[in-house]
Amino acid sequence: MGTNPQTMAWILDEYSKFHGYSPAVVTGKPVDLGGSVGREAATGRGVVYATEALLKDFGKHIADQTFVIQGFGNVGSWTARLLCEKGGKVLVVSDATGAVQNPCGIDVPGLIRHHQNTGGVKGFSGCIDTDPNSVLSEPCDVLIPAAIGGVLTRENAHDVRAKFVVEAANHPTDPDADEILAKRNIIVLPDVYANAGGVTVSYFEWVQNIQGFMWEKHKVSTTLETYMTNAYKDLKEVCKSKNCSYRMGAFCLGIDRVARATVLRGWGA
Ligand SMILES: NC(=O)C1=CN([C@@H]2O[C@H](COP(=O)(O)OP(=O)(O)OC[C@H]3O[C@@H](n4cnc5c(N)ncnc54)[C@H](OP(=O)(O)O)[C@@H]3O)[C@@H](O)[C@H]2O)C=CC1
Ligand SMILES: O=C(O)CCC(=O)C(=O)O
């Protein structure tokens, strides 16, 4: 958050000054300096693949659903754009400057242009400006916090009027809110899975750097889709067998993988 490919270029340059040219040392670089095509969109793209997998499991499709997105930076704007491309209706979007709303669905490409020109979402024609403090309680099918952490708390979790919360930001839901949302039967898809598209394509970038071979955009997107879809299946299986939430399932899956590797290396008791 608050960084971009230029920041990563500076990190690469600084490290390489002392250790020789080392592109694999940092990811999210500009493509001209060994970054992966598709990394800029990857987190939002992964959020959309995750949302698609979740909705499919509930017999729903992005095109039938309404979305509210908090945050319109890298993750929020790509998520909005790709949801819109798949026919989803984005009703409300906010950033630190304000929030905009259109009950018929926001023209996301237009909002992106407005944001590029003005530095914020506020004042976009074709929408009405609305209160950014009420974004998390706007009625919708899928609420996507894609800004800062700790935004869903015991104070506001009772006000959420979505059926699903897809955590695009890191730790947007605190433990009290998690409990309240669960009691209200609101399904939360946790950050550790939902926003993993970014780190997954960072892994692809690292692989490309050590191979010295750059992938095509199509390969990045389709491989990411395979990873996100398979990860959903693994997650769902654990949740079913343990009768637990997606967050608990994701933690169990991760810890179990590390534990198995630890035992295989002979470190077990
Ligand atoms: N980029 C990535 O690859 C990944 C990012 N994440 C997580 O996703 C989240 C967003 O990251 P990213 O999009 O990269 O960051 P950016 O810096 O690109 O965008 C952050 C966005 O959040 C908005 N924002 C900041 N404070 C508030 C607030 N109080 N209320 C509403 N909106 C606010 C900003 O508004 P404004 O522009 O007006 O300041 C901006 O639109 C973070 O939690 C990050 O950790 C997780 C995985 C990967
Ligand atoms: O690209 C990465 O390595 C990590 C990105 C990420 O997960 C984050 O910003 O939280």
Asked if the model's pLDDT at residue 268 lies above 90, the reply is no
Ligand at minimal distance from the CA of 146 is 1
Asked if the model's pLDDT at residue 166 lies above 70, the reply is yes
Q: Is the CB of 153 under 6 A from ligand 1?
A: no
What's the pLDDT score for residue 241? 98
What's the pLDDT score for residue 104? 98
φ/ψ region of 105 (left if φ > 0, alpha if ψ in -120 to 50, else beta) reads left
pLDDT bracket for residue 162 (50, 70, 90): very high
Q: Is the CB of 186 under 6 A from ligand 1?
A: no
What's the pLDDT score for residue 57? 98
Rounded distance from Cα 199 to ligand 2 centre (Å): 5
**What does CATH list as the number for 42-194?**
3.40.50.720
Asked if the model's pLDDT at residue 73 lies above 80, the reply is yes
What average pLDDT does the chain have?
A: 97
- Give residue 8's identity as a one-letter amino acid code: M
Q: Is the CB of 249 under 6 A from ligand 1?
A: no
pLDDT bracket for residue 266 (50, 70, 90): very high
Q: How far apart are CA 260 and CA 241, in angstroms?
A: 18
What's the pLDDT score for residue 269? 62
Instruction: Note the ipTM here.
Output: 0.98
Asked if the model's pLDDT at residue 231 lies above 90, the reply is yes
pLDDT bracket for residue 154 (50, 70, 90): very high
What's the pLDDT score for residue 257? 96
Pocket test for ligand 2, best of 202, 205, 224 (most atoms within 8 A of CB): 202
φ, ψ (nearest 5 deg) of residue 50: -65, -45
What's the pLDDT score for residue 6? 98
Pocket test for ligand 1, best of 7, 68, 70, 75 (most atoms within 8 A of CB): 75
Asked if the model's pLDDT at residue 109 lies above 70, the reply is yes
| pTM greater than the 0.90 cutoff | yes
pLDDT tens across 83-105, in order? 999 999 999 999 999 999 999 99
pLDDT tens across 180-229, in order? 999 999 999 999 999 999 999 999 999 999 999 999 999 999 999 999 99
- Cα dihedral 109, 200, 170, 232, rounded to 10, equals 90
Domains of the chain, by residue range, sit at: 1-35, 42-194
User: Which protein residue's CA is at the shortest distance from atom 9 of ligand 2?
Assistant: 1
User: Which protein residue's CA is at the shortest distance from atom 20 of ligand 1?
Assistant: 73
User: Which protein residue's CA is at the shortest distance from atom 7 of ligand 2?
Assistant: 199
Asked if the model's pLDDT at residue 155 lies above 70, the reply is yes
Rounded distance from Cα 51 to ligand 2 centre (Å): 19
Ligand at minimal distance from the CA of 169 is 1
| SS (HEC) of the chain | CCCCHHHHHHHHHHHHHHHCCCHHHCCCCCHHHCCCCCHHHHHHHHHHHHHHHHHHHCCCCHHHCEEEEECCCHHHHHHHHHHHHCCCEEEEEEECCEEEECCCCCCHHHHHHHHHHHCCCCCCCCCEEECHHHHHHCCCCEEEECCCCCCECCCCHHHCCCCEEECCCCCCECHHHHHHHHHCCCEEECHHHHCCHHHHHHHHHHHHHHHCCCCCHHHHHHHHHHHHHHHHHHHHHHHHHHCCCHHHHHHHHHHHHHHHHHHHCCCCC
